[in-house]
Amino acid sequence: MIYLTNYKTWVVVAITFLVISICIALHYEILSHCRRFLTRLSHRRRRRVLVLILIILFAHTIEVWLFGIGYFVLLDVFGAGELTGLEMQSFLDYIYYSAVVYTTVGFGDLIPIGPIRFMTGMEALLGLVMITWSASYTFLEMQRDWTDNDA
């Protein structure tokens, strides 16, 4: 069966790119505001690192939830595939699946079937990019902090 002729495939593609766009814009804005906020804490090095990590974890959590909402909409509203393996008992099961995919842990207890596989693959790719972006940002902030204190 070729999925490209199925309207559900195009709904999955559209919603996937919408969620990806929101996640990228959100991540950028959070890191941008974080930079301005952290400069106010410049005299407290440990607090800056703690606040930075908490903000980044918050950003990733929001992104996981956005994909979880996307899975819920695509699977429960549009019927664009299914997740097999475990019985989906609550909305938080979609959030769990999203977290596993976003972090590329891939436990394998839930397996996507149908057009929803596209969103799953794209979320894994985006999660890798976002986590790397956050790690790079953290490194640059800490390097700036170490350089400022050595001078």
Number of H helices, E strands in the chain: 4, 2
CB-CB neighbours of 2 under 10 Å: 6
pLDDT of residue 106: 84
Identify the band that residue 4 occupies on the pLDDT scale cut at 50, 70 and 90. low
SS3 call for 100: helix
pLDDT of residue 49: 83
- Is 57's pLDDT higher than 60? yes
In sequence order, what E strands does 34-116 have?
Answer: 82-84, 111-113
Q: Which two tokens stand for residue 21?
A: 């766009």
Q: Which fold has domain 3-143?
A: Helix Hairpins (1.10.287)
pTM: 0.89
- pLDDT tens-digit profile of 94-125? 999 999 999 999 888 899 999 999 999 999 99
Which sequence spans correspond to the domains of the chain? 3-143
DSSP annotation of 65: H
- pLDDT tens-digit profile of 7-53? 899 999 999 999 999 999 999 999 998 888 877 776 667 778 888 99
